[in-house]
Structure 1
């Protein structure tokens, strides 16, 4: 059911479906009725092992990320969610796009989903990408992080704190991927050696903006 499993859980309970949290220890067939008997224990209570009889038992395996997802992540620099799938920009405000411009998510790439959810999300992803591809030119901000290699301490804090995975620590210091960088300033704030600045957005510009604001007060 994916991230909205609570909705399915609530709806199914209204239909009379009962849920028991348990670890199934054994399944056996009744030779007389041909029904299946499950030996189990309710893990949310102190009940001992008990045997329940059913006419049908369905074993459902958990869905895990596909093989090769690590290779895609390294190429596209995408983030992982806690369960190992690709992470969206924001679960509620922007569940389709990623933090990398031009890369959207759909279907089980983001986590377990129903067919209906996958179709809806696929259409939304196509619409999001159409807004970019439908333009003759794609504008990007020129503000980008810039590293002064001579001052770089190679501590790796900028790489660790970059929300867009735009920084890689190399032998000669931190290296900024200007395609991925969004100029947010997280690396600048975490750099202990003050080796990082934002291009076209330096301290004199801050000072002039502050002076202009103070003049209006």
Structure 2
């Protein structure tokens, strides 16, 4: 019996550890945090005024919950010139030089790709939108919180490699969104199911071994 308690207790602890990493426990951004970032953003001046205003407005509306960054990208025709070596390289490979370090950093903050896809054709339905510049891929990146987005924006590790993204992409846009439903399971659910299934398997195995030994 004690071993059964230990198995399910360990499963519960493991899931709580996962939630400790996956969820935002610090609440929404404070006014002081936003003001500090706004000053830094204005000092750097690396975003157009309208995009800076959109970003600050997004931060001010922080609800402390997760959000998803919807990205659509288009690659240039042919190879691009590597900004460091001057050699011609594949645009996707150059983008990976930016994306892989970026993905590793945000994974540490419970950010991860929720959905990725390759574009399979032109606009099937569209109005009030600019002409298709030649989109190639779409992705949805999960962020634990808007504070984690700030941490990524302010991370000095990306200062020297963000140019790879700018050179590799002919067109892109990113817009934040909040999930309101769908059929895709959240990791909160499927991680719980995996842990439960593993604990149940260990529990059943333990009972089977005990019964065998008692014969």
TM-score range, shorter chain: under 0.3
Q: Larger C-alpha radius of gyration, 1 or 2? A: 1
Higher RCO by CA contacts (8 Å cutoff, separation 6 or greater) = 2
Q: TM-score, normalised by structure 2?
A: 0.24
- Structure whose residues are more often helix by fraction: 2
